[in-house]
Amino acid sequence: MTIEFSFSKKHLEMREGIRGLAKSVIRPQALAWDRAGGIPEDFLRNMARLATSMGSNAMTSGLGDESDGARADLADAGDRKKKLGANLFGVLAAEELSWGDPGLLLCLPGPGLGGPPVRASGTPEQKKRFFSVFKDLHDDAAPLQWGAYGLTEPAAGSDVAGIRATCRKDGKHWVLSGRKCYITNGARAAWTVIFATIDPSLGRAGHRAFVVEKGTPGFSVGRIEDKMGLRASETAELVLEDCRVPEENLLGGEEKYVSKEGFMTAMKTFDNTRPLVGAMALGIGRAAYEYTCEFVKKNYVLSRPVPRYAAIAERLARVGRGLEAARTLTWRAAWLADEGEPNAKEASMSKAMAGQAAIRACIEAVEICGAEGSIAKDHQLLEKWFRDIKVYDIFEGTGQIQRIVISKRLLSDLKAF
């Protein structure tokens, strides 16, 4: 297979534009957003408008040209060619925005993580109905809208097959009961893709996916999490108590669930989003790495034959190598998605390596810069990056889960995941 990572002039110009925006507008406000626990909606609206004007859904995970429900799917090769490069540009944009502030990307209005399963498995009517709520960005009087993705439960995060939220058919409705936790934008979402099971003993074969709309009786918000990092982003608990969902909100209809389609819907979402999560981690890791390099240049003369200086240089070189390698994996996973090729293994590789490389970059930054770098008022961004980065080895599947996925796809004698 030929791998082509050359970017168009338009893509490079757009990346430079986002980089300039991150440097001059986003990063100067990052600490204030972190302390306030949120980002002003006027700013989010303007950022979402910018994303749609760029003609890409890269920054809003589906808000762009799919928000009006006009596109049914990407089934034929012609449609795929129209979107060629969208995923690859998405990871470029995600890295630059996260270099500015990773919380912003998670806060932008649009379908968010709920978009991929609706696009992958929804009926044409469902896509039109649920994406249509996101098209009023240019009407200042219209409220901003978000979508969300509800899979994780208190006792079932990494083990997706172990979800315990239940669903049962009752006439023309499905009745859902259970709890979902750590849901990004869960409290303010117009709708949330909720996974439940008809029978926990069936494992993945029992999974069903529903689009549960805000205000549905029996559907409520529990607590809003007080997090260590990504504090500008809302993370909520969702509660379903005999929640009655119309049968037309069963994602894809009954025929989708003859085998393990519900579980595969969840996995397709991860294949699309894990490279983006890896790119977000790289943005944070690169920010910490660049900060540390500047700190070292100002405070040390590494050319001097001092053992400690040689050790610092080696540590920085190791961090730089790790970030570059992870970036290449992330680009490849996104490129495969643009080509319409299976990318589950590559998506897991990119997410696993990028998270670890970025965590290492932040740890080394704090250690090399020492007390001055982590405590001094002028260096509080370093402390914020250190708090923000840990979750990138956890959400969208922990590093351990990624390694299991990778090994099962690499080793032919293990059952496919």
User: Which positions are catalytic?
Assistant: 396
Amino acid at 118: V
Total H helices, total E strands in the chain: 13, 7
One DSSP character per residue, 221-255 reads: EEEEP--SS-TTS-EEEEEEEEEEEEGGGBTT-GG
Instruction: Please tell me the distance from the alpha carbon of residue 366 to that of residue 386, in angstroms, as a whole number.
Output: 8
* DSSP E strand stretches across 48-188: 146-150, 166-170, 173-184
Contact 231, 37 (CB under 8 A): yes
Instruction: In whole angstroms, give the CA distance from residue 110 to residue 92.
Output: 19
Q: Cα–Cα distance between 324 and 85 in angstroms, integer?
A: 20
CA distance 397 to 146: 22
DSSP symbols for 288-344:
HHHHHHHHHHHH--TTS--HHHHHHHHHHHHHHHHHHHHHHHHHHHHHHHHTT---H
- 289 — phi, psi (to 5°)? -65, -50
